[in-house]
Amino acid sequence: MKKSQSPFIKFLLHSIGFLFLGLGILGIFLPLLPTTPFLLLAASIFMHTNKNIYVWMFNNRWFGQNFKAYVKNKSVSKSVKTGSLLILWISMNYSIFFVVENIWIQTLLIIILISVSIHILKLKTIDDGIDILEVESTKEDKE
């Protein structure tokens, strides 16, 4: 962030960064709220405005490892991929068959379900328990 930015702009960027961070953390617990895009937006803001929070996000014990894997390699662990798909399919099917009665909204939910599933399945999969730094060094050795 430029040193010449006004206090209002700094406050605004921090507020937006914390909003995205909060939505990303909520997305961990709410299956229809995406986690990664909000965390990526927050990280991009904090990368320029607050290095301490940016570093905290990468070193966080709950989502730091998965966040690093996604940012650096566009990959997720097997358990994250399996859990995401399981929660996604259960919650979306529940909504489609028991909550929503409008056929157009049901169709939209089906399209979202399929699209998000395809995105998750296309991500590279790393074994559970493998440190992201090991994946990076192996990748660099091959190049």
**pLDDT tens, 38-60?**
888 888 889 888 889 988 988 88
Please give the share of the chain, as a percent, with pLDDT higher than 70.
85
At residue 100, does pLDDT exceed 80? yes
CA-wise closest residue to 73 among 136, 23, 121, 5: 136
The structure tokens listed for 31 are: 């299956």
- pLDDT for the residue 105: 93
Q: Which of 33-42, 68-77, 102-111 has the highest mean pLDDT?
A: 102-111
At residue 3, does pLDDT exceed 90? no
What DSSP element (H or E) covers 71? Answer: helix 64-73
d(CA 58, CA 69): 10
- pLDDT for the residue 134: 55
* Torsion sign across C-alpha atoms 126, 131, 132, 134: negative
For residue 33, the 8-state DSSP code is S
The pTM score is 0.59
At residue 90, does pLDDT exceed 90? no
In contact, 17 and 53? CB cutoff 8 Å = yes
In contact, 67 and 44? CB cutoff 8 Å = no
